Each structure stands twice: as structure tokens, then as C-alpha cells.
Amino acid sequence: MRSRHLRAASKAAAAAAVFTLAACAGVPESSAPRIVEAVPRSDVTQEPDVQLQPRSPQPGQTPEEVVRAFVDAASSAEDRHAAARRYLTPAATRRWQDDAGVNVLAKTPYYRPEKSGELTIRGDLAGVVDLSGAYTSNPPSGQSYSYRVTLSRIDGQWRIANPPPGLVMTGSTFAQVYRRLNVYFLSRNESRVSPDPRWFSASRDVLPNLLLSKLLVGPSTGLSPAVTTELGDGVSLKSNVVPESDRLQVFLSGLAERSARAQAAASAQIVWTLSQLGATGVEIYDDGQLIVPEGVGRVQHRGDWQSYDPDGLPLSTQGYFVRQGAIWTTAGKAAPGPAGRDGGYRAQSVGVSADLGRLAVVGRLSRGVALYVGAARGELSQRLTASSLTAPSWDAAGGVWTVRNGSEIVQVPARGLPQRVRAQDLDPAERIGKLQLSRDGSRVALLVGPPGGQMLYIGAMSSGFAPTALRLVVPGLTNIVDVAWAAADSLVVLTRKGALDAGLWSVAVDGSSVESMTSSGLPGPPTAVAAAPDQPTLAISEGGLWRLPGPREWTAVLPRGSESADSAPAYPS
């Protein structure tokens, strides 16, 4: 897979939550699981349902007017897209595969007449949503959408005879009718849940069933190599989720046969998934038997499964940075141990384990650099040398990851010799500017490409601890110089072009949205960033360390001067 380039998105597009991009779209309501019994309407989520009111066919409409109206009407999922079906011939109404995914266009498509009764829909394809509801950014090769429509006259009126499979819509339309929710699977060691974003166009009363259906089917293609589930084969949805005033009742079959450990992990998956809908609790039944894991009440809450948090960090978490070759914290104190006193490491970047107990430091040598690893309060051992090493990143097994000499991905295990790791989807000749593992251990972010042309790739960490299923995310963002995981489903990306042109972006892990972040308060273009859930974003700018505690303005942690930060802000991972 070679890096490819796309012209940078315009500043105007960026300011408006950029690529609503493509918007991203989701699973039509018609793909809901089979309804076993009627589900009463409830207020499990406070988010209002948005229903577009498409127009009915009008007498005398031209072929172009009919096709335009059909595309607009298809944004309404009500009654299996009944409004859109009115523009089809009777035969096409029966054949149309309205659940065959979604093609999301960057802007309003063109309708080019071909000959009498035929025209072509054309547009810039920004992204697609597959049958599972997972969104994928469009490759940056300028790929376009094109579909030739044939119309027939029915009782004197034009009707579509071959509707395009699935749905076609613009990003702006999608933003009105689709919502993103995570389906939670388990990290390989089952210690955390990992979010798998899906897109839905459905009323709130069927969302619990849709979410559970996706959970039972399994992870999306891109995430499946990195996760597992305790809700796989043999576990099924016995009847609809029933909303009560203070809980959701889930009715399954096949879970009670699993071990107590498996039932606990499955419960964590269900509770984390359904808690997004605003439910205060969840009751889980299996063939009529109440599932009550050890230490948890009959009504389970997300707080009962907080240990599975994909972004869990200690309450005492601080940021770290390099100052004059030593490791410091955002509390304005040197890190404990020799690394905080330099200790001869001459640090240029740092990685801190999630439990705060271990450090990995890349330090300068007389020629090249070395990776030092050890207890946070003790001496660090030299584990690896190279001409260059990227900032270290920790995995769940206590290993440290880095990129050696711009091309070789290396894992340094807690014990044993460093191992070179091959990313199967990446051309060995590609330059890798940075590697960062997500805190749940399921995903990896890579900056790939030559200096000035790096782009963001995200992949899954397979059971063999190898990056796989790598894909380009947000091809409109180029010249990326740094990336950090803000949460398990979002990142902060720093782009730079020239000495003064820099941009900070909040990017969804599936590439479905990109939002410009403020630079107000910074004294100059940032050069490095760090991020963590529920923590202020950190940046180096003009030799000082700055933080963004909210959405509006940066404030100084250490201004430029004798107390300045050299580089490399980092949060534990």
C-alpha cells in the first residue's frame, strides 16, 4: 500500500467540521434485527429523532427531476424507504436493495442526461458505509461515484427501473439523519472493551435492538483482527429489549451456558454498548434466568464495569515532557528517579505506561539515539540503538513500540530481545514518521509518507501483535507531523505546511468527521501534541508548553524561557 496524496482541504471546509466528510453514513432502519415482539416507545435517549419529509412524485416530472427527488427521498428510512420507492417502477420496487450500504458524496451530485429515459448520477465519493454500518474514508485517488439510471413510463409518468444499490446522499444530508454509536468488543486479553463505531438511521425505540444485533454479529472487518467477544456463536437475542423507567431489560439465549468469567465480560460489552442511549441501568436475562455476575447487582451500570474502560487512566494522571534532556511533568516537577535528573539519558522523547509505573525514553547518543526502558523511579536499561527512533508507545503486555530509522517497526518486549514487526499492508519502502498504540491496545496510528507528505493510517493490532488492516484515514489531511490518541475512538492530528501554516484537528477513528481545533492563545504554530481522555490537550509552541483545557483558548503551562519545554509532550498510554 503506497501513500497517496490529495490536495489539502480548504480552510473554509475545515472550519465547518470538515469532512462531515463524507459523511459517513450508516445502516438503514430496514436492516434492523427481526422484531420478536412489539417494542413500546421510550425515552432511552434524549437525542431527538430527525425525520426529513420528502415530497411525493408530481405529474409531469422530467427524468432528471424524478431521479433528483428519488435521491432526496431516500434519506428517509421510514417504512423501508417508502417515500423513495414511490419513484420506482413496480418491478424495481420489489428488487431495490435499499440495505446494500451507503455511498456518501462530498457535495450535491451531477445528473447528466444520456439519451431519452437515461441519465448518470455523478459525484465525488467521500466515503462508504458497509452493511455492518462501519464507515470507511474514500481513497485519495479522486475516486468518483457514477451510476447510470434507466427510467420507464408508467401510466404516462417517468419512474426509475434500475435504482442504484443502497443509498446515495451528501454529507450534509447524512448529518441530519444518521448518528454514530459504538459497539463494544473485548481486547484480546479481555481486560478492556474496544469501541467499534457504527452509523444508524433509526428511531430511538429500535436503537437498543440494532446495537445488540450488531454486537451479536461481531466486529467490523477493520477491527476484527484485534478484538474478541463473549457474545459470539451460540448467543442470540431472544426478544426485543424492553425499556423500563430506570433500566433496559435484555433477553438473550445461550449466555448462561458460558463460564462466570465469560458472563462478566459479555455483561461489560452489553452495558457499555447500551449505556450510550442514556439508560441508567441494564438487566440481562438468559432464557428467563437473571444474569448477576459476582460483585454486581441485578441492575448493572457502567460504573460496575469501569475496569473495562478503553481509556482508563489513574485519577492522578499528568502530562509529561522533555526539558533540557530530563523528564518533567505538567505539575512543574521533575519525574521521580534518574530520568527526572537526566541521568545521562539526554532524553528527546518519552512514553509512560498506563499504570504510571514504567518509563520508556529515547535519548541522544554521540552518534544516533538509544531506547531506555525501566521502572519509573529506577535506572533505565538501554534496549535498542539506531540512527533515529520515534517516540515510544506502550502495549498492554508491557512492551514498547517504536519505529527505527524511519522504516522498521520494532517491539521491545518486557523480557527478551527486540523484535522487528512487519506491517503486511505497508510497503517496506514507505517512511513511517510516528507510531502510537491506542490505550485499549486494539488499534495503531501511523504517520506514513515522506517529510511534508505524511498521512494518517489506522490499523488493528492482531493477536500476533502485528499491525494489520491498515487504511488511510481522512485523505484530505496531508503534511501531518504529529498524532495522539485523545480517546479510543478519536485522535488529535497536527498538520504543518511551511514555517507558519499549522492546523490542529480532532479526527474520528473511522475518518467520518474532522473538526478544526482552535489555535487561539498559542504564541506560534505548534510543533508537537499530546492528548488523553478527560485531560487538556498539550502542545509545544515557541519553546513553551501549552494546554487546551476547553474548546476556546490555550493557556501556558511553561512559557518560553529558562523554564521552557524542549519537546515531546506525552500522556500515559
Residue 1 has pLDDT above 90, yes or no: no
Write down the pLDDT at residue 109.
95
Among the three residues 252, 277, 308, which one is the final residue of a domain in this structure? 308
pLDDT in tens, 205-242: 899 999 999 999 999 999 999 999 999 889 999 999 99
**Domain extent at residue 331:** 320-570
Give the percent of the chain with pLDDT over 90: 72
Residue 47 has pLDDT above 60, yes or no: no
**Over residues 479-503, mean pLDDT:** 93
Q: Which helix (H) or strand (E) holds 404?
A: strand 400-404
DSSP string, 150-189: EEEEETTEEEESSPPSSEEEEHHHHHHH-EEEEEEEEETT
Write down the pLDDT at residue 55.
84
Q: Do 330 and 412 fall within a single domain?
A: yes
More confident call, 497 vs 263: 263
Write down the pLDDT at residue 19.
35
Q: Do 303 and 325 fall within a single domain?
A: no
Residue 30 has pLDDT above 60, yes or no: no
More confident call, 544 vs 439: 439
Write down the pLDDT at residue 174.
87
Q: Do 525 and 383 fall within a single domain?
A: yes
Residue 251 lies in a domain: yes
Beta-carbon count within 10 A of 115 CB: 7
Among the three residues 262, 279, 308, which one is the final residue of a domain in this structure? 308
SS3 state of residue 545: strand
pLDDT band for 543, please (50, 70, 90 cuts): confident
In terms of Cα–Cα distance, which of 165, 141, 161, 162 is closest to 152? 161
What single letter denotes the amino acid at residue 8?
A
**Over residues 476-488, mean pLDDT:** 95
Residue 369 lies in a domain: yes
Q: Do 97 and 127 fall within a single domain?
A: yes
Q: What φ, ψ does residue 380 adopt, rounded to 5°?
A: -100, 140
Residue 28 has pLDDT above 50, yes or no: no
When divided into structural domains, the chain yields a total of 3
Residue 464 has pLDDT above 90, yes or no: no
pLDDT in tens, 273-291: 999 999 889 999 999 999 9
Residue 423 lies in a domain: yes
Q: Do 99 and 170 fall within a single domain?
A: yes
Mean pLDDT, the chain, whole residue set: 87
pLDDT in tens, 126-143: 889 999 999 988 655 557
Write down the pLDDT at residue 37.
29
